[in-house]
Amino acid sequence: MKSVIAAIVSCALASQAYAASQPMTAMQAPLASKSLLLDIENVEQAFMVVVGERGHILKSFDGEHWEQLAVPVQSTLTAVTFVDLKYGWAVGHDNTILATTDGGKNWEVQQFLPEREKPLLDVVFKDRDNGVAIGAYGQFFRTVDGGKNWSEEFHSEFLHEEDVEYLNELKLEDEEAYLDERASILPHFNKMVMDGRTSYLVGEVGLIAKSNDFGKTWQQFDSIYEGSFFDIERTQQGNLLTAGLRGNVFRSLRNGTPWQHIDTGSTSLVNDIVLTSDDRLLLLGNNGTLLISEDDGQRFSARPQPDGKALISGTWYRNKLVAVSEDGIKTITIAK
């Protein structure tokens, strides 16, 4: 998801071949809260969980004091989600999927496939049983039993017609070549978001799609931009906002048709969209970019962070922005 993540994907594809076939336990690091962290989850305003490099997972109840949790892998973790105060999942490099049933105190490995040399980039669950993990090159895994078993799906609806024909011909000629080609022909899936019964997916080469059956089938929107998108959210007023490379932000009043390009005055990559409890929208991006909208995303004002570090993911927790960045956790008060 993200420029930092885009770089991580490249590094992962080059380096995962050297990963151990068995996971190694993450080291306890006194400065883990200052390390590269890639996602944050607000669990019902009760506590937060963050994940990042070297298998780091940390938990906090107040946003100021963070406890590093015991984790059975050293793989970089890219995303985390919880469905309630106990059940959560995290995904990342080495095709890792982790699960907890006690609020993060203990984590178990549900999937670890370093030989695939592809990271997972997001994970979404709609209840304790049904979940999806997505990632580089269109990886798409589904579970219906809380992650005890994960099955892979190939979503050919994201292929161009000529690519479908090419794969069909290749399958008849060379099964092994077909499988190799199929494994890398889809775009990266960066972020999946649930909005009631509808799921939205954004990714590489301008991918925006929606599903009404939790990702079993997808309807792709007409292209509005050729670059990557890293987030999509339903705003407090019921509109859609999506954001990505080079500061590109688009807003839709009609569930994806049409899209209006929003000039934010910034060309920095946007990593995350955060909704506040007081009806503001925040865009978090590279180079310390923090953009604020008080009119449902029609206009944004800039509040750049002085250290210039990339803000990668954030959440609105007890009237403050808590964000993860390339140098750890930041708590930012934003007066209205």
105 occurs within a structural domain = yes
Q: How many C-beta atoms lie closer than 10 Å to residue 303's C-beta?
A: 13
179 occurs within a structural domain = no
Average pLDDT, the chain: 94
18 occurs within a structural domain = yes
- Each residue's pLDDT tens digit, 289-332: 999 999 999 999 999 999 999 999 999 999 999 999 999 999 99
259 occurs within a structural domain = no
42 occurs within a structural domain = yes
Which tokens sit at 325?
A: 């960045």
Q: 3-state SS string over 135-202? A: EHHHCEEEECCCCCCCEECCCHHHCCHHHHHHHHHHHHHCHHHHHHHHCCCCCCEEEEEEECCEEEEE
Domain containing residue 35: 1-142
135 occurs within a structural domain = yes
Q: How many structural domains comprise the chain?
A: 1
Note the pTM of the prediction, 2 decimals. 0.93
- Each residue's pLDDT tens digit, 181-202: 999 999 999 999 999 999 999 9
pLDDT at 26: 96
**Can you give the CATH number for the domain in which 61 is found?**
2.130.10.10
Q: In the chain, count of helices (H) and strands (E)?
A: 3, 27
27 occurs within a structural domain = yes
- Each residue's pLDDT tens digit, 44-68: 999 999 999 999 999 999 999 999 9
277 occurs within a structural domain = no
- Determine contact, residues 298/281, Cβ cutoff 8 Å: no
